[in-house]
Structure 1
């Protein structure tokens, strides 16, 4: 192994992780003139297990980044979320959405950061560099070589896997909040049959849900998710009994469009699973010289499993805090205040998560929404983040379904 003290060129900000959070943070900082080094252990264009849905918060974030038009040129636009209950009832909730595989989306976001002036290096985060308790850079691994880079700030945007968080002393929960299993199916003959983001609840899928999202070029993203997949026992995480592959098989068996898709289509690659981190919990957000953002900070919504938009939003919050405050403590306080302001919204989605455990609630809401434009409008408001999702499935919300 080479001399471990070899140095990479210093940066004002070192961003670890070139997913939506890291690339969004890097682009905002680089556009403001800061020297940004963005690193990822994978080469550009790496795959990421995800539903690939871009809901309104993702559109808003992409618009601020100046990348919305470019993303939409490649994405599959979608105008509705189809909510399907255990008894087959369906309601289509309108919204501005799209689907683009993460391989393409993340490559576009990374290129956007580089176009703004950020440098990119393929490297894996090993540990922070510290001086008197303050992070002043990081130790990285490139091939078989250990290198060091000095930076005024280090941003951890390393996703749901807790290894980097643990190495940085920021991990508070090693187990994930949820898990997902996703595959791509090529089925051009289904393009006119499945046109919405279809989300399916069924007793056979409990405690999870299934989805089919239409992607570009006659492809479909099909998968299942389980929120609240692990539990803590005496401080140690333990996986619950849910088997993702069994839930996926039940989805295909019990939902005819999924069965038809798998029957007539061609599975592209393997089904892939991934952990999820929800509700802005499970990690410390900051320490002197270091900020945790994106899914590493828990930026994915419980209940829906949507996380791309909020990952970009938290990455931009980190960039805004660093740009607004030269003082370390003031920047960290500003960032933490930004995440704290988002916390109630995440809590509401956590409350709505009861639908996954009690799918009959989906039947009830769907039945009422088909009869009440006001209820349908509230469901659309959940997509647009103008309605409280917890209210729809709370005791008070359920009673309102009958009396509106």
Structure 2
């Protein structure tokens, strides 16, 4: 596998200023999982959808590339699961590895697919449903009417500023806060966490690393490391740190953090990672990116505009998983607009419906945020692994959390960890 082999297989769309539509029903800013999912649902329902992005179709994204069960559910809803799975690397377990080397494999419906390919499939799926896709085009500011309702956006296309009017605008611009700030919806400019990842081609390691391994140790504290098997003899390897920008000793102070040093420590202290880097070939450079987690840090809407995906904080704290929830929030935004259109609902009612659907997800996100104590105190993972290796029932509970069929509060909480001493 080469770097080129994980590039987009679809054509690149370049927009000339004269070709940009001046009107549409729905303008979606950002063609990642959230924006493309919303675009597909809305276009499939017959709406005139314009989807734009700063980058060409199939843009890269710093990510672990893991597709956990919520991703499978969202892809099935979009009618794209079979297409994605035809190119993904199927995986049967998440491997949880503790500081003392203990391990438990948690079963689940899992897969790994580089984001270049996944995002290309999602964006193309939206176009196949009837959405127009234009790139590169950058969101500069919302267009407002006299009552301050969003009625479109000013976009930068090449060297020109162009205006597009729309009934609704969906902002799906990811973790970087610039677009949120321009839209007047950013409540926190600092990220919730940061991650660093690279791709390594290592055919000799195929079959040796079979699970989506997540590794906790003192060496990577307060974060975690991962190695996920990708298609074609490649592996996604990286480290992540949540709560990376929490105030320390004063407002806005940042924790002392060097992701490259954490990555190097991961390689040094986890033998499979060292072997992977020794036997394999690093494809390109290691790349880092911010994370926005816990459905916090931004307002979810304003009149005429909905915020979705990682811009709304759709990534899970503790694990950094976010692909499935990004798609889910994009679908929820589309569903709110379609239901409101069918009922003749007001702007306020549509926004209320959407925000209510996100509020229903919030308790689960909050539990994952509280589980961050595990990253700061990795000995808790040792306890969990020790008990899980003595209890099939506990492994089933862990699988239930992964598959979202059981309450994570029964496991990812202080109360849950206390129960481990009494688990049968």
The TM-score bracket by the shorter chain reads over 0.9
Matches within 5 A, 1:148-187: 148-187=163-202
Deviation at 1:16, TM superposition (A): 0.1
Structure 1 Cα separation of the partners of residues 51 and 18 of structure 2: 20
Partners of 1:242 and 1:299 lie apart in 2 by 23
Q: Is 2:406 the counterpart of 1:387?
A: yes
Structure 2 unaligned spans of 5+: 1-16
Matched, 1:42 2:61: no
Instruction: Please give the residue correspondences for 1:1-400 in structure 2 after superposition, counting only pairs within 5 Å.
Output: 8-122=21-135, 123-132=137-146, 133-232=148-247, 236-326=251-341, 327-400=346-419
Contact 2:229 2:236 (C-alpha < 8 Å) held by counterparts: yes
CA contact (8 A) 2:195 2:291 kept: yes
State the shift of 1:236 in Å: 4.9
Tell me which protein shows more strand as a share of its residues: 1
1:17-63 CA-partner distances (Å, limit 9, x unpaired): 00000000000000000000000000112111000000000000000
Distance in 2 between residues matched to 1:375 and 1:46, nearest whole Å: 39
Instruction: Supply the RMSD in Å over aligned alpha carbons.
Output: 1.5
Give the alignment's TM-score, normalised by structure 1.
0.97
- Paired positions, count: 401
Contact 1:80/1:93 (8 A) holds in 2: yes
Query: Distance between the aligned counterparts of 2:133 and 2:211, measured in 1?
Result: 36
Other-structure match for 2:11: none
Shift of 1:95: 0.2
Q: CA 1:393 to 1:43, structure 2 compared with 1: closer, same or farther past 3 Å?
A: closer
Query: Structure 1: which 4+ aligned runs deviate by more than 6 Å?
Result: 4-7
Q: Does the aligned pair in 2 maintain the 1:11–1:37 contact within 8 Å?
A: yes
Separation in structure 1 between the aligned mates of residue 179 and residue 337 of structure 2, nearest angstrom: 21
| TM-score relative to the length of structure 2 | 0.92
- String of CA shifts for 1:234-256, please: whole Å, max 9, x gaps: 99533211211111001000000
